[in-house]
Amino acid sequence: MLTQDAMLRQLKNDLSEHRFNHTLGVVDTAVMLAEIHHADLEICRIAALLHDCAKSMDVQQMLSIISRYSIKLFPGEAEYPALLHAPAGAALAQEKYNVADERIIRAIRYHTLGPDDMNLDEAIVFVADFIEPRRRYFEGLDYARFLAKEDIFGAVKECKRLTREYCVKTGQVPLNF
CATH topology classification for 4-137: Hypothetical protein af1432 (1.10.3210)
Average pLDDT over residues 70-81: 86
Q: Is the pLDDT at 176 greater than 70, yes or no?
A: no
Model pTM above 0.75: yes
Closest CA to 125 of 100, 77, 89: 89
pLDDT over threshold 80, residue 68: yes
Residue ranges of the domains in the chain?
4-137
Does the structure show a pLDDT above 70 at 75? yes
Would you say residue 36 has pLDDT above 70? Answer: yes
| CA–CA dist 54, 30 (Å, integer) | 19
User: Hey, CA dihedral for 159, 164, 167, 168, is it positive or negative?
Assistant: negative
**Cβ contact 64:125 at 8 Å:** no
Whether the pLDDT of residue 177 is over 60: the answer is no
Model confidence at 28: pLDDT above 60: yes
| pLDDT in the model for residue 20 | 97
C-alpha count within 13 angstroms, C-beta hemisphere, residue 102: 1
Residue 27, pLDDT above cutoff 70? yes
Burial per residue of 151-161, b for 16 or more beta-carbon CB atoms within 10 angstroms, e otherwise? ebeebbebbbe
Indicate if the pLDDT at residue 109 is higher than 80: yes
Query: What does the pLDDT read at residue 143?
Result: 97
| pLDDT > 70? residue 174 | no
Mean pLDDT, residues 51-66: 96
> What is the pLDDT of the chain when averaged over all its residues?
93
